[in-house]
């Protein structure tokens, strides 16, 4: 049986507990590997290694650090197919999406490598004569990364690459469900020649590893993507220690379809946004807000396309919808479907665990559509993280915006309209971190900030240059070359 180990101070090693947890293929329940279960002690060793390595890494010029990232980018590119296969087998997303996700990591590596020559600060005129003022970005120290199973390599790339190019060291806890692609990613860093101790991998399930990272005084910031429940717990602990956190959490994303929209285009966007990745994206479309006048047409068209969504093992190129991550996800989704029915929503299609030949041993849930949903229902408010979409009808753009904004999350929203005035009004009023016009709620590109408002996050962003704000601090520097005491705010007034 393949064993996935920790990577600490440049060495692959078993965790101190001696325990291993099985890694399952969600499409058929097959055991793919076992992953080492870490404890507090393993976290401590990783932090010590990271602290030591960061001492010299911060002194390496950023363009030179970036050269390492170019090597990472080319290795990711070379190994794209292999990485996609590994990712699909442990996470379940269909292979085309697996390739797409690896591409996101490749893009991020090239992009952040470029940023090594663009870690700009500012030169600012001083208030005083013969005095020079500037601000520079400096690394924070050791970054603790806690990443989810749904985008196991893309999200790890959004966090580790900016952390490293900015001069930090990394302690990374990947999700227990997806340690295989994490191992592959770390091997790439190793092959690219990243000095030992700069990236450390600490595997393990449960809260012990995560809590040990948050509590460890040697970890200077935590960047987390995952559930609101865990994010809030991290923030509480870290807040008490005055430790910076960057949190990326849930969504309840909606596509609005106005009267004047291209309905066929909107149908494409909804099918892809709601059922791609089996609805397991933070950006997944889980609500459709449609103008009453086009509701029936849209609903009929959606329903007529459902049979195209072939379910199965994502490694089969013809499959469109893969499994969900595990048994408990399957049960949670099913529970929400029952809640929806009890609340009075009408189940149009799906609503059950797939039982067709061959699917029974995997975690497959049928693509599910509810109509007659109102915005006060739980299925319209809470994140389901599965292939379930709720159709809500409205009578105006204003009402659509109100419904869109009525949830506690604020990650992504989309509007389909042919009217430029409606489009601009929506771009202004939809209160999410991502807004799409005539495109679905998923598919963010890595060179723009990624993140959300309200309950989705805590004001930080992954990706884009915004991610450098997470992994650096500003240092303001004043150089007085007057040769005399100049009292600021006094001698110049």
Site pattern 277..296 for ligand UN1 (x: CB under 6 A): ----xxx-------------
Closest to 475 (Cα-Cα) out of 59, 138, 116: 138
Q: Between residue 90 and residue 119, which ones bind ligand UN1 under the rule CB under 6 A? A: 104
Q: Using DSSP, state whether 80 is helix, strand or coil.
A: helix
Q: Which residues contact 59 (CB under 8 A, 6 or more apart)?
A: none
Q: Which is nearer to ligand UN1, 38 or 225 (CB)?
A: 225
Please state the closest distance from residue 44 (CB atom) to ligand UN1, in A: 29
Site pattern 223..242 for ligand UN1 (x: CB under 6 A): --x-----------------
Q: Which is nearer to ligand UN1, 103 or 425 (CB)?
A: 103
> How many CA atoms does the CB half-sphere of 377 hold within 13 Å?
25
Number of Cβ within 10 Å of residue 474's Cβ equals 11
SS3 content of the chain, % helix, strand, coil (to 5): 40, 25, 40
Q: Which is nearer to ligand UN1, 107 or 220 (CB)?
A: 107
Residue 84 is encoded by which pair of tokens? 């996609």
Q: Between residue 429 and residue 468, which ones bind ligand UN1 under the rule CB under 6 A? A: 442-444
Residue 272 is encoded by which pair of tokens? 């892809």
Q: Which is nearer to ligand UN1, 278 or 283 (CB)?
A: 283
CB of 320 closer than 8 Å to CB of 308: yes
**C-alpha torsion sign, points 325, 327, 330, 336:** negative
Site pattern 141..170 for ligand UN1 (x: CB under 6 A): ---------xx-------------------
Residue with tokens 């010590």: 48
Give the orientation angle of helix 420-429 with respect to helix 397-404, to 10 degrees: 30
Number of Cβ within 10 Å of residue 488's Cβ equals 13
Q: Which is nearer to ligand UN1, 29 or 443 (CB)?
A: 443
Q: Between residue 294 and residue 323, which ones bind ligand UN1 under the rule CB under 6 A? A: none
Side by side, which strands form the sheet with 244-248? Answer: 11-13, 6-8, 199-201, 169-173, 142-146, 221-225, 244-248
Q: Which residues contact 241 (CB under 8 A, 6 or more apart)?
A: 214, 215, 217
Q: What angle do CA 6, 11, 12 make, to 5 degrees?
A: 40
Query: Which residues are marked as active site?
Result: 248
Number of residues counted as binding ligand UN1 (CB under 6 A): 10
Q: Which is nearer to ligand UN1, 71 or 159 (CB)?
A: 159
Q: Which is nearer to ligand UN1, 38 or 150 (CB)?
A: 150
Q: Which is nearer to ligand UN1, 113 or 282 (CB)?
A: 282
**445 dihedral zone (left: phi>0; alpha: psi -120 to 50; beta):** beta
Q: What DSSP string describes 447-470?
A: TS-B--EETTBSS--BSTTHHHHH
Closest to 67 (Cα-Cα) out of 112, 29, 15, 26: 112
Residue 54 binding ligand UN1, by CB under 6 A: no
Q: Using DSSP, state whether 62 is helix, strand or coil.
A: helix
Whole-number Å distance between alpha carbons of 252 and 233: 21
Please state the closest distance from residue 488 (CB atom) to ligand UN1, in A: 45
Interface residues with ligand UN1 (CB under 6 A) are: 104, 150-151, 225, 281-283, 442-444
């Amino acid at each position: 049986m393949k064993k996935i180990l920790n990577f600490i101070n440049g060495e692959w090693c078993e965790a101190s507990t001696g325990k291993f947890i099985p890694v399952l293929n969600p499409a058929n329940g097959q055991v793919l590997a076992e992953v080492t279960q870490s404890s507090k002690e393993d976290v401590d060793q990783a932090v010590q290694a990271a602290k030591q390595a960061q001492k010299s890494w911060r002194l390496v010029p950023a363009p030179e650090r970036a050269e390492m990232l170019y090597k990472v980018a080319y290795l990711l590119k070379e190994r794209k197919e292999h990485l996609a296969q590994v990712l699909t087998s442990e996470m379940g997303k269909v292979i085309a999406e697996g390739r797409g996700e690896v591409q996101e990591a490749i893009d991020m590596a090239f992009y952040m490598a470029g940023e090594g020559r663009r870690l700009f600060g500012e030169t600012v005129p001083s208030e005083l004569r013969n005095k020079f003022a500037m601000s520079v970005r400096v690394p924070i120290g050791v970054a603790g990364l806690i990443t989810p199973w749904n985008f196991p390599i893309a999200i790890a790339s959004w966090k580790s690459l900016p952390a490293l190019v900015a001069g930090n060291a990394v302690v990374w806890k990947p999700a227990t469900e997806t340690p295989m692609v994490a191992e592959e990613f770390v091997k790439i860093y190793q092959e690219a020649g990243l000095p030992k101790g700069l990236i450390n991998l600490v595997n393990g399930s449960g809260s012990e590893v995560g809590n040990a990272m948050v509590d460890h005084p040697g970890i200077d910031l935590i960047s987390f993507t995952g559930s609101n429940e865990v994010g809030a717990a991290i923030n509480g602990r870290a807040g008490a220690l005055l430790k910076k956190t960057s949190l990326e959490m849930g969504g309840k994303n909606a596509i609005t379809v106005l009267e004047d929209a291209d309905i066929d285009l909107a149908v494409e966007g909804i099918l892809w946004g709601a059922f791609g990745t089996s609805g397991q994206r933070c950006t997944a479309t889980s609500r459709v807000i449609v103008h009453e006048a086009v509701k029936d047409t849209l609903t009929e068209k959606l329903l007529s396309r459902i049979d195209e969504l072939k379910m199965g093992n994502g490694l089969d190129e013809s499959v469109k919808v893969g499994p969900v991550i595990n048994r408990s996800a399957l049960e949670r989704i099913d529970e929400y479907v029952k809640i929806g029915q009890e609340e009075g929503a009408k189940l149009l299609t799906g609503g059950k665990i797939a039982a067709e030949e061959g699917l029974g041993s995997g975690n497959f849930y049928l693509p599910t559509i509810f109509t007659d949903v109102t915005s006060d229902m739980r299925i319209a408010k809470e994140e389901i993280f599965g292939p379930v979409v709720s159709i809500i009808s409205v009578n105006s753009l204003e009402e659509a915006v109100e419904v869109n904004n009525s949830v506690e999350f604020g990650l992504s929203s989309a509007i389909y309209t042919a009217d430029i005035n409606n489009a601009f009004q929506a771009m202004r009023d939809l209160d999410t971190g991502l807004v799409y016009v005539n495109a679905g709620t998923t598919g963010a590109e890595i060179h723009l900030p990624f993140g959300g408002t309200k309950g989705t996050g805590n004001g930080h962003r992954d990706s884009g240059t915004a991610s450098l704000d997470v992994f650096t601090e500003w240092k303001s520097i004043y150089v007085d070359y007057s040769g005399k005491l100049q009292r600021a705010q006094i001698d110049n007034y």
